[in-house]
């Protein structure tokens, strides 16, 4: 018998409950799950409702309320101290609209449309949602670590120095990282190819791949200065006072005059 026929036979043999109720482990394989949850509590102490009605009838509303407040803990709790709220309990969530309520797991997560996960640009370092590495695209702090300076900038600085100086030659040699090139994807558990760059694991990370990743993530936009939209106004201000127009414009982050007065 094929698996499809076997499953079809099992579904036919299962019986649907007319009224939702708790089932035993022995009954479970032969009962079809209910599509709706019961609105009646299955808690054994709910039988005290009859006693509450009897006491309310004999004592009256005012005396019963006083007794209920004295005997019970937090009598006004909307969930009746249940750790998991009853699905039918409607919790008010608005002070202005009494009809605005919320219910536990309502609407049911299973009745909602599938979650839409935004996808990054194909081929980018963020295409894989499980790749949470940030150092591979941290271009803002590139070269700030004295132990790992920006190679291109350091090369420009060294070109302006005396090439015959032993110190300069030593610094040129230090530009090439001397650390391990990584395990090339060969781990103790065997070779892996899920990350060709090797930057997602510390054992396979290497300087060459890191520099290549940082180069690919370097910003390529040209930012405009703060005074770009008012440059004509800035130039006119200097010309009116017969002053030489400087590069850029001042005014952003200036210190008040009283703060610039020398104090003894």
In degrees rounded to 5, what are phi and psi of residue 104? -65, 120
What pTM, to 2 d.p., does this model score?
0.42
Q: State pLDDT tens for residues 161-217.
A: 888 888 888 888 777 766 677 888 888 888 888 888 888 888 888 888 888 888 888
CA neighbours closer than 13 Å in the CB half-sphere of residue 200: 14
pLDDT for res 122: 80
Buried b (16+ CB within 10 A) or exposed e, 61-92: eeebeeeeeeeeeeeeeeebeeeebbeeeeee
Residues in the chain predicted with pLDDT less than 70, given as ranges, are: 1-13, 20, 34-50, 125, 177-179, 250-264
207 forms beta bridges with none
Reduced 3-state DSSP string for 226-239:
CCHHHHHHHHHHHH
Torsion of CA 214, 216, 218, 219, to 10 degrees: -160
pLDDT (0 to 100) of residue 37: 63
Distances (CA, A) of 66 to 37, 70, 73: 34, 6, 13
Cα–Cα distance between 139 and 76 in angstroms, integer? 57
- The pLDDT of residue 240 is 93
């Amino acid at each position: 018998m094929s698996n499809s026929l076997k499953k079809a036979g099992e579904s036919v043999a299962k019986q649907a409950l007319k009224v939702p109720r708790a089932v035993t482990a022995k009954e479970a394989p032969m009962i079809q799950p209910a599509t709706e949850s019961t609105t009646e509590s299955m808690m054994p102490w709910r039988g005290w409702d009859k006693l509450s009605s009897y006491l309310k009838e004999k004592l009256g509303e005012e005396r019963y309320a006083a007794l209920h407040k004295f005997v019970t803990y937090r009598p006004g709790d909307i969930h009746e101290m249940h750790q998991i709220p009853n699905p039918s309990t409607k919790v008010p969530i608005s002070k202005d609209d009494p009809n605005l309520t919320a219910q536990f797991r309502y609407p049911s997560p299973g009745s909602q449309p599938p979650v839409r996960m935004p996808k990054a640009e194909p081929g980018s370092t963020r295409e894989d949602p499980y790749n949470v590495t940030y150092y591979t695209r941290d271009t803002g702090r590139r070269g700030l670590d004295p132990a790992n300076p920006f190679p291109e900038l350091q090369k420009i600085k060294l070109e302006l120095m005396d090439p015959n100086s032993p110190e300069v030659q030593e610094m040129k040699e230090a530009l090439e990282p001397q650390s391990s090139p990584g395990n090339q994807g060969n781990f103790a558990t065997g070779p892996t190819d899920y990350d060709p760059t090797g930057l997602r694991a510390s054992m396979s990370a290497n300087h060459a791949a890191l520099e290549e990743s940082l180069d690919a993530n370097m910003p390529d936009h040209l930012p405009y200065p703060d005074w770009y939209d008012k440059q004509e106004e800035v130039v006119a201000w200097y010309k009116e006072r017969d002053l030489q127009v400087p590069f850029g414009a001042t005014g952003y982050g200036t210190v008040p005059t009283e703060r610039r007065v020398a104090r003894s």
